[in-house]
A and B are shown apart, each in its own frame.
Chain A
Amino acid sequence: MPEPLIQIEGLYKLFGKNPKSVMSMVHEGRSKDDILAETGHTLGLKDINLTINKGEIFVIMGLSGSGKSTLIRHFNRLIDPTEGVIRVDNIDVMKLSPKELEEFRRYKMSMVFQRFGLMPHRTVLENVGYGLAVQGQSKAAWTAKATEWLETVGLAGYEAQYPSQLSGGQQQRVGLARALCTDAEILLMDEAFSALDPLIRSEMQDQLIELQGKLHKTIIFITHDLDEALRLGDRIAILKDGEMVQQGTPEDILLNPADDYVEAFVKDVNRARALTVETVMKPPSGRITADTIAEALVQMKALKGNHGYYVNDDGYQGIVTLDALEACSDDGSQQMSADIWQELPAISPDAMLESVIPETLEADYPLPVVDEEGNLKGELSRHNIAEILGGAEKHVEEKI
């Protein structure tokens, strides 16, 4: 049962000299352009409602100017909303006094920045320990912790260096270590990997996933890159011009884009890398569970095709074809055995589509999808894959 940690309700942000006075226009439903032309105020965020659960990676995605960086700055009130409620752990963040807000920022959340936000005049170690130093911890205390976290992100030995002496990827590892060092429950990551080259970026993504496997933080991750969103996100929210367009699991977004905007995003995605087998597999076309050949033939006849996946008490065993059964049908009471079924590799439902494409294409039959306990969950055919991967183009063609 997901446990809500952060709730945002009816959040509006207007930029300008006197935003409160312009809110009535916003509520009347006037367009962003109208408001800008008439009052000089820019509508940054419009009616945002979000619930983020404990322990999930929630990705907020949008193009530049969509308001995603503005939104993430509302969580720790680097930006104050014009209207709306922000609740973290049932605390109304808007009601915190300046002193309480400082405390809240020190212990509850930490943040990773696009351009790292490291302090050039502090060593790597001092940067990592910054949050703890701000909390008022002794140098000895934060040094120990910061050293540990530096090691965790793979930067042991760099303690005395200065940020300017590090590469971009290394700097962002320092940024990540700094964020983790305070042990805050919530991690805000504002385009944390966007400034890195693709190779380093994917390395960092792996590292984040690995760390999250151990730490189970609640992570809010901002990105403009759908591949990244799909790879990291448990759930994804898509922002467009300050409005929430769609919220859902990566599969929801990929397979059921809410509108043209999301669809346009989705079409460029490498689905093979974004989707798991489970999300595209079909129900198994045939399951043979019989003990004898005669019974198996009966089961096979009931199927549409001419093959079935043989499953016994030990789980999935292999594929049985109609031809093979008929060849042995002289002795109907003969027990099913390894001679009768052929070996056919099974694939895991959690595997990325990309990783199973070669096997699927090589196999003569659709590949069975079998979970860790050996249960047959479904099947994946060449045809399936072609449909999913060609899907985007099909949509485009339709539009043309």
Chain B
Amino acid sequence: MKSFLIAVPLLIASTFVQADNTCGKVTIADMNWSSASLIANVDRFILEHGYGCDAELVPGDTMPTGTAMIEKGEPDIAPEMWSNAMKDALDKGVAEKRLRFAGKSLSDGGEEGFWVPQYMVDKDPSLATIEGIIKNAALFTHPEDPERSGFYGCPAGWNCQISSGNLYKALNLEEAGFDLIDPGSGAGLSGSIAKAYERKEAWFGYYWAPTAVLGKYKMVKVDFGSGIDKDEFTSCTSAENCLEPKVTMYPPSLVQTLTTEKFAAASPAVFDYLSKRSFKNSQMNELLAWMEDNQATGDIAMEYYLVNNKDDWMQWVPAEVAAKVEAALDNL
């Protein structure tokens, strides 16, 4: 098996002209959030210049793209699929040989949790644990009620509102003096982090990675000391009618590259690249922060990434492809 995997790139290398032909027109879903857009652009560039595909980005979002891939077989590639969001449908698609998962686009998976700023943990390492936070609840003053402490939950209507609310209950944060603050929107939540960070104020709340916010503002994920109880999480923590939630850390969400079976079968070389192409959360956080700082779009971030991280991406492709991509980069 292993030898076969090694053999594939050689095979492709030897039949390069043929591979070129088999690639042809490829559509890649450009999801409407920054990390997905960056990955989509990286894929586009490498497919176009490394594999000679006629790659095209099409706008996408988790549900519509997933559904379209199952039903219509296009687009060919969804580079960052949060598969938990439509797990059943995707599993069915794989079983019916319509879809194929290539690999994890984010090797750590989507990370959720309760976070505190790094500078607070630097001062008092105990704040990296939930016991430390509860003990020091007074630090986290509620913005509208000096008597209480504030815990920034997930915005109203989001899926995470349920899980963060259940964990708030399970961790007995209310008795510890914390009020659950609804930030109203993603912008409200990230705005509250930015504001606290700029002034080195205390902040405690729900957030997720990879995000520009966590790239820009170093935060520490609070350890509940419970480990991950995946069953408890799916059956109760993330369910609205969970009556007695128990403490569990958030299990990472699987973030994968998804292709149609048709494409995977037709372009094994490209599929191999997609299987290897993967980012670490810390790396993605930083890239996203760079994007936000520079107000960069996916294609600009792609350029920045490819130019500055050659060691990274060159491991994903055979040497010939790498050389072609590099040459194309030089011509930019």
Decide if A and B touch, CB cutoff 8 A: no
Residues of B at the A interface (CB closer than 8 Å) are: none
Residues of A at the B interface (CB closer than 8 Å) are: none
